[in-house]
A and B are shown apart, each in its own frame.
Chain A
Amino acid sequence: MTRFLTKLIVALAVLAGAMLASIAFGSHPTSFGDVLDVLSSTADPNVATVIESRYPRTALGVLAGVCLAVAGTLMQGVTRNPLADPGLLGVTAGASAAIVTSIAFLGMSGDAVWWALPGGLLAGLLVHVIGSSGGGSGVARLVLAGAVVSAVLTAYVQAVTLSLPKVFDSYRYWVVGALGGRGFDVLTSVLPVAVAGLLLAAVLGSGLNTLALGEESAAALGANPGLTRALGMLAAVLLSTAATAAVGPIAFVGLAVPHIARWPAGSDSRAQLLFSALVGPALLLLADVVGRLVLAPTELMVGVVTAFVGAPALLLAVRRMKAAA
C-alpha cells in the first residue's frame, strides 16, 4: 500500500509541476518567481494580467487531459484492444458536423462548444447504439459503426466547408485542437458532462477488472459483461465529447496515456483509471507549454504537439512488439 501511495504522490507532484509550468511559461516570457508574486498580490499589474490569462487554459488542459485519458483507458479496457482510442467513437466527426451546421445554416458564430457538445454526444451515442444492439461481442461492429458514422459525417463536413468559405474559415481553426483563446465559460459548460462521465468511470473500475479476463470468465464471476461494456462506452463518449467540445480534437492522449499509466498502476483497472486521470492532464499541459515555447512569439497548437510527440513514441514502441504480431 505504501508503494502505491508513493507512486500516487509522485504522479500528483508531476501534475502540480505541469500546472505550475503552464501558468509560468508562455510566448510572453515570465518566470516561476512572477507566479509567486502574482499569488501574493505583489506583482506588476501587466505581468499579473499575462499570468492570469493562463489560468483558464491551464484549467481547460486539466479537464481535457483527464477526460481524454480516462476515456482512452475505458475504451482499451472495454474493447481489450490496446490501440483503441476515443476517436473511434465518432465523437470528433459528430462535433465537427454540428459546428459546421451551426455556422453554415443557423447563422451562429463563435461559441462552438454549445454545438460540439450535443453533436459529439449524438454521434457517439449513435455509434454506440448501432454498435452494441443485437447482443454479440460487439467490438468489431462498434469499430465498423464508428467508421461508418465518421465517414458520412466527414464527407458532409468537407462538402459544406468547401462550398462555403466562411464556414471553412472558422472550422479550420477549430479542428486543430488548442487550449488557448478559450475562457472559463467553456469550462463550466462542459463540466457537467465531464463529471457525469468520470462518476460512471469510477463506478466501473472493478467491472473492467473482470472484463479483462474475457467475456466468459467475467460472466462466470457474476459480473454483467454486456452492461459493463455498454456503460464503459457511454462514459467514454461523455468524456471524449466533453474534451472535444472544450478544446477541439486532440490526438494521442487517449491512446498513449493508458499505456503510460499501466506502468505505475499495474493490471488493476481501478488504479489504471486513477493514474490515467493524473498522467493525462500532466502530459497535455506539458505538450501545451512546449507548443507555446518552440515557435515563440507565435504558438503551436497542442493538438499538433501531441501528434508530433505521441507518434514518434508509438513508432519506437512498434519495434518492441512481439515478433509474431
Chain B
Amino acid sequence: MIRVPIARRAVAVAAGLVVLLLAAGVATLTLGRLGLSLADLTSWPPTGKSKFVLERLRGPRLVVAAGVGAALGLSGALFQNVTRNPLGSPDVIGLSTGAGAGAAIAALLFPGVVPTPAGALAGAVAAMALVYFSTGTGFRHPGRLIVAGIGVYAIGTAIIQYVVYAVERDKASVLTAYVNGSLNTRSWEQAATIWVVLLAVVPFVMLLSRRLTMSELGDELAAGLGAEPQRTRVAAVVLAIVLSAGAVAVAGPISFIALTAPQIARRLTRLPGPHLTLSALTGALLLVLADLAAQQAPIPVSLPVGIYTLALGGLYLGYLLIREWKKGTL
C-alpha cells in the first residue's frame, strides 16, 4: 500500500500558517496607542473608538495587507515554477519598476488628474506589454523574458529617478514612499479591489495547478504526459502578472514578498510541487507581519511597509546564503 504523506504535512503547515496569520491580525488590531482591547474586539457591533479603529484605521489596512500578501505570494509561486529560478518573481521582469515609473509619470505630467494607483497600473501593464512584444515569442521562453525584463527594469528605474530628481522635494518624497510600496491609509475600496482580483484569479490557478506540477518534470516529459508545458507557462505568467498588478494597484510595488514567500513555503514542507496555497498563506503572513512592524516600530517617522519587506527580504536571502553555504550546495 502506498501512503500519501504529502497531503498530511502540507495540511499541517497550512493550518499553522492560518493560526499565525490570525494571531498577527489580532496583534495588528490590538497593539499600540490606538490598539483595541480583546474585549473591544469581541463585542459586536463595535462602537466609538473601536468602530473607528476597525472600520477606518486598521481594519481595511489589515485586510488589504492580507490580500496583497496572498496575491504576491501566489504570483511568485507561479513565476518561480515557470522560470525554475528561485529568484524569479514578476519584479524580475520589471513589473514593479514599470508600476513605479507609471506612478512617477502620472505625478509629473498629470498632477492631480490621474490618480497615482491608476498611473501605477498603467505603468505595470505597459511594462509587461513591452516585455511581451520585445521577446518576439511572448511569454514562452523564460530566458528571453528575464533579459527583456532587465531592459524594462532599467528604463523604469531611469524614469523614476529622473522624475524624483525633477519634481520639487515634497512631491518627490511622497513619490519615493509610494514607489517603495505602502499600506498607510487604505480604504475598504482598495480591500475590495485586491480580494476581487484574488477571487477572480484563484479558480484559474486551481485549474492550472496539476499541469504546473507536471512542468516540474521538464518540458519534454511534461509534453509526453499531455500537460502542454508551453501553454501552461504562458497561462501561469499571465496569471502571475494579473495578481501582481492587482497588488501594485492597491499598495504600490512592495518588494520581496513574491520572491521569498514561495521559498519559505517550500522549505516548510520540504516537498516537491508548486505550493500555491502555502505560498499565498505565507505571503499574507509576511506582509501582515511587515505591516505590523511598520506600524509599531519605535521610530518617529512612519516608513512605508515596502522598506520593511526590503530589509526582511534581504536578511532572509542572507539566511538562505549561509544555510546553503553550510550545506555546501551553492
Interface residues on B, range: 35 or more
B140 to chain A, nearest CB (A): 9
B310–A155 touching, CB < 8 Å: yes
B157–A307 touching, CB < 8 Å: yes
Please tell me if A199 contacts chain B, counting CB pairs below 8 Å.
Answer: no
A318–B134 touching, CB < 8 Å: yes
B173–A315 touching, CB < 8 Å: no
A315–B134 touching, CB < 8 Å: yes
Please tell me if A281 contacts chain B, counting CB pairs below 8 Å.
Answer: no
Q: Which residues of B contact A (CB under 8 A)?
A: 87, 130, 134-137, 141, 143-144, 147-148, 150-152, 154-155, 157-158, 161-162, 164-165, 169-170, 172-173, 176-177, 180, 255-256, 299-301, 303-304, 306-308, 310-311, 313-315, 317-318, 320-321, 324-325, 328, 330
Please tell me if A314 contacts chain B, counting CB pairs below 8 Å.
Answer: yes
Question: Of all chain B residues, which has the CB nearest A161?
Answer: B176
A141–B307 touching, CB < 8 Å: no
A259 to B122, CA, bound (A): 33
A251–B314 touching, CB < 8 Å: no
Main secondary structure of the interface of A (DSSP, over half): helix
Interface residues on A, range: 35 or more
Q: Which of A130, A145, A172 contacts B164 (CB 8 A)?
A: A172
List 16 other contacts, CB 8 Å, given A155-B311, A156-B311, A308-B158. A83-B147, A130-B321, A134-B325, A136-B330, A144-B321, A147-B317, A154-B310, A155-B310, A162-B177, A163-B299, A169-B169, A251-B158, A300-B162, A314-B148, A317-B147, A319-B135
A289 to B127, CA, bound (A): 28
Please tell me if A323 contacts chain B, counting CB pairs below 8 Å.
Answer: yes
A148–B318 touching, CB < 8 Å: yes
Q: Which of B141, B150, B317, B325 contacts A83 (CB 8 A)?
A: B150
Known contacts A304-B158, A304-B161, A318-B148; A162 and B176 CB within 8 A of each other: yes
A158–B158 touching, CB < 8 Å: no
Cross-chain pairs A/B with CB under 8 angstroms, 9 sampled: A141-B324, A144-B317, A152-B314, A158-B310, A310-B154, A315-B134, A318-B144, A318-B147, A325-B143
Q: Which of B141, B150, B176, B317 contacts A314 (CB 8 A)?
A: B150
Chain A residues near B135: list those with CB within 8 A: 318-319
Question: Of all chain B residues, which has the CB nearest A137?
Answer: B330
Chain A residues near B151: list those with CB within 8 A: 310-312, 314-315, 318
Please tell me if A125 contacts chain B, counting CB pairs below 8 Å.
Answer: no
B149 to chain A, nearest CB (A): 10
A246 to chain B, nearest CB (A): 18
A309 to chain B, nearest CB (A): 10
Q: Which of B134, B144, B256 contacts A151 (CB 8 A)?
A: B256
Please tell me if A4 contacts chain B, counting CB pairs below 8 Å.
Answer: no
Q: Which of A149, A176, A318, A324 contacts B161 (CB 8 A)?
A: A176
Q: Which of A129-172 touch B at CB < 8 Å?
A: 130, 134, 136, 140-141, 144-145, 147-152, 154-156, 158-159, 161-163, 165, 168-169, 172
Please tell me if A25 contacts chain B, counting CB pairs below 8 Å.
Answer: no
- Interface centre among B255, B314, B324, by most A CB within 10 Å? B314
Q: Which of B134, B172, B311, B324 contacts A152 (CB 8 A)?
A: B311
B244 to chain A, nearest CB (A): 18
B330–A323 touching, CB < 8 Å: no
Chain B residues near A83: list those with CB within 8 A: 147, 150
Q: Which of B155, B165, B330 contacts A311 (CB 8 A)?
A: B155
A165–B136 touching, CB < 8 Å: no
A251–B147 touching, CB < 8 Å: no
Chain A residues near B173: list those with CB within 8 A: 162, 165, 168
A310 to B154, CA, bound (A): 9
B330–A141 touching, CB < 8 Å: yes
B92 to chain A, nearest CB (A): 11
B307–A155 touching, CB < 8 Å: yes
A156 to B307, CA, bound (A): 8
A301–B165 touching, CB < 8 Å: yes
Which 6 pairs, one residue from A and one from B, show the smallest C-beta to C-beta distance? Answer: A151-B314, A325-B143, A307-B158, A155-B311, A315-B134, A152-B314
A168–B176 touching, CB < 8 Å: yes
B134–A316 touching, CB < 8 Å: yes
Chain B residues near A130: list those with CB within 8 A: 321
Please tell me if A321 contacts chain B, counting CB pairs below 8 Å.
Answer: yes
Chain A residues near B130: list those with CB within 8 A: 315
Question: Of all chain A residues, which has the CB nearest B177?
Answer: A162
- Interface centre among B144, B301, B304, B310, by most A CB within 10 Å? B310
B127 to chain A, nearest CB (A): 11
A251 to chain B, nearest CB (A): 5
Chain A residues near B299: list those with CB within 8 A: 163
Question: Of all chain B residues, which has the CB nearest A158?
Answer: B307
Chain A residues near B325: list those with CB within 8 A: 134, 141
A50 to chain B, nearest CB (A): 24
Known contacts A134-B325, A161-B176; A252 and B317 CB within 8 A of each other: no
A312 to B304, CA, bound (A): 32
Chain A residues near B308: list those with CB within 8 A: 155
Q: Which of B165, B307, B321 contacts A172 (CB 8 A)?
A: B165
Q: Which of B154, B170, B306, B321 contacts A307 (CB 8 A)?
A: B154
Please tell me if A184 contacts chain B, counting CB pairs below 8 Å.
Answer: no
A162–B307 touching, CB < 8 Å: yes
